[in-house]
Amino acid sequence: MTLGEKLRQIRKEKDLTKQELGIALNVPKERIKLYETNEEKPSDFYLASFANYFNISKDDLDPFK
């Protein structure tokens, strides 16, 4: 599973829209879409933000990091 697929799966499990997640993390929803479709990879800062928000480790989110 790619990082983008994992982000999307977790977001859906938490019943969040891209906009809701973006607001919570101060990231535009368009950027969330780019991350979820693997068109862009989040920086280490945003990867840590996602992991912290979802209460998981960065390694759980991106094991190839």
| Host domain of residue 44 | 3-55
Is the residue at 24 inside a domain? yes
Q: How much is the pLDDT for 59?
A: 87
Kindly give the confidence (pLDDT) of every residue in the chain, 65 residues in length, as a single tens digit, with 9 standing for 90 and above: 899 999 999 999 999 999 999 999 999 999 999 999 999 999 999 999 999 999 999 888 876 65
Question: Looking at the domain assignment, is residue 32 inside a domain?
Answer: yes
CATH number where 15 lies = 1.10.260.40
Specify if 60 maps to a domain. no
Whose tokens are 């997640």? That residue is 21
61 in a domain, yes or no?
no
pTM of the predicted structure, to 2 decimals: 0.89
CB neighbour class for 24 (10 Å; exposed up to 12, middle 13-18, buried from 19): exposed
Number of helices (H) and strands (E), helices first, in the chain?
5, 0
